[in-house]
Amino acid sequence: MTETDEPEPKGAIPLSESSRIHVNQIGYLPGQRKVAAVVGPVNTRTFCVTESETGRVVFQGELTGPIADATSGDEVWHADLTALSQPGAYRLTVDGVGTSPVIRVGADVLTDITKAVFKAFYFQRCGMALDSSHAGPWHHAACHTADARLPNPDGGWLDARRPHRGGWHDAGDYGKYTAPGAKAVADLLLAYAFAPALGQVSWNIPESGQGLPDVLAECRYELLWLLQMQDPATGGVHHKVTTKRFPGLTVMPEDDTDEWYFSPISATATASFAAVLALASRFYRPYDPAFSRRCLQAAEHAWAWLAAHPEVPGFRNPPDVFTGEYGDPNDADERFWAAVELYRTTGRAEYQDAAIALCNGRVFNPYGLGWADVGGYGAIACLFAAGLEDDEAGGTRLTPAPAHEWPFADELRAGFLALADHLAGRTTESGYLHSLREEDFIWGSNMEAANRAMHLFLAHRLTGDERYAQAARHHLDYLLGLNPLGQCYVTGFGSRPVQHPHHRPSVADGVEAPVPGLLAGGPNRGLQDEAARQHLAGRPPAKCYLDHAGSYATNEIAIYWNSPLAFALAAAWFTPAG
């Protein structure tokens, strides 16, 4: 991610609340629970729902509440719109308050945004030209095609260079980072395992229609880059490859011509690499056995490095490198994830034994789904079977795994569901139906909301308990407009979309609209950039967001923020509601 003090040409004034009625601006599936948030005070408890086009009254109801929403400071009333089951476009009106944005109901309301959120990874591709037939007005020339210098083990840099072409730009800058990339790929692969029908969905990328599902084709582009991050001699994996400093915010990818450098090998990068390559091996086996074998061989080579280096200090930037550090002093969760995935793929006892030892002596959160706290991916691999080749009938491919595989399976499952219960319970206490607390509004808070939706959908898959799916959908509602700012946090979508993300191509390309399908970082009470400090000081945590290109602390984008949103959208789209 990026930090820069440069002035931004696409700035925006601070957000002001133009409406006191907040809804999911993308729409609702017919059978799901539908709630609008009405910010008080209110003079009447009655609300009216009309057809958007005709004004015909559909039904009237009574507001419930109020809820004193702790994270926004709002007095919030709820209008239950679940009775809207017929496809159509509607509006909600409360006398003395106003009228809502259009409320859409239909089986297809998530189609376009889901495709766009997945296609956003194509727009983040490095090392190739994005042509207008696939990228539309956001096309650009090939970028970052020169080889990068290798680190000297004794410090500094060697004259030797190695290719790094391909992969995804990490965020609003152009760096490429191993651990964040591994999380992003894992989320997309798990989305496909959760919702196999995703394999029939195309979003117009160069590989569309060539026999490999678009989601696997896109992940393969990142995986091929990840394979280049591995040292062929030792199996260790470089932490990142970047320039020494971030380029200016108005620099297009192809104009970023500074020299690139492989940062040293790290244990967290190597273990995350081993995990996601072992996971990927299972997914590509039915489509490309040779690539599947290559992924597994690379994963096992990385594990050999980990076994030879049981204690490695956490990564720190070299003295002359000032791009994102992605430091993480604890590599136990990455090693656990790697061991479980390698066991899942190979069935070899040595990996199972390693996973058991790491879990029994764990010093990590076994349910974390971030780029640093990845224990949750190990838990998912323990609790679910995710082998595509196991389901020739085309049904659900992410299914609960046999409990006897792991001595800690019952404990792990109980903890997974206890967290889901806690998150679902929190949604009932929030005026905006999410589970975020004040301390959760940090850099990338929207990733946390999306991760929680992912966790809840997985809990629903484990149990069939509709409470979890409902709470997951409410987290999507929050990200798509049902929040204190009435902001849809995805570029290109909603009645109030993100328009000025901290994203270099969107700033520099001369196109008025930003690249679509990107999730902004979201409210962040830390206010780590000057734009945020200037405009947001003193605001409640849930309102500490600024749609301004200079606000990298609230309005940057990142592949590992988009990826859990992609999972949650796919899960919502293909999970029957109600």
| Residues belonging to the active site | 502, 547, 556
Task: Please answer whether residues 250 and 9 qualify as being in contact, where contact means their C-beta atoms are separated by less than 8 angstroms.
Answer: yes
Q: What one-character-per-residue DSSP string does 397-444 give?
A: -SEEPPGGG-TTHHHHHHHHHHHHHHHHHHHHHSTTS----GGG-STT
Residue 78 DSSP SS3: strand
Residues 6 or more apart in contact with residue 415 via CB below 8 angstroms: 366, 367
**Selection from 569, 571, 370 nearest residue 451 by Cα:** 370
Task: Please answer whether residues 226 and 233 qualify as being in contact, where contact means their C-beta atoms are separated by less than 8 angstroms.
Answer: no
d(CA 11, CA 16): 15
**Selection from 441, 542, 548 nearest residue 15 by Cα:** 548
Task: Please answer whether residues 279 and 341 qualify as being in contact, where contact means their C-beta atoms are separated by less than 8 angstroms.
Answer: yes
Residues 6 or more apart in contact with residue 359 via CB below 8 angstroms: 336, 366, 378, 406, 408, 412
Task: Please answer whether residues 345 and 296 qualify as being in contact, where contact means their C-beta atoms are separated by less than 8 angstroms.
Answer: yes
**Selection from 39, 162, 103, 144 nearest residue 504 by Cα:** 144
**Which strand ranges, in their side-by-side order, compose the sheet holding 21-22?**
21-22, 35-39, 75-80, 64-68
Residues 6 or more apart in contact with residue 262 via CB below 8 angstroms: 148, 149, 150, 151, 162, 164, 229, 238, 240, 241
Handedness of CA 332, 273, 172, 284 (dihedral sign): negative
Residues 6 or more apart in contact with residue 404 via CB below 8 angstroms: none
Helix and strand counts by DSSP (H, E) for the chain: 16, 16
578 HSE (CA, 13 A, CB side): 12
């209008």: which residue's tokens?
A: 79
d(CA 74, CA 289): 55
d(CA 214, CA 199): 7
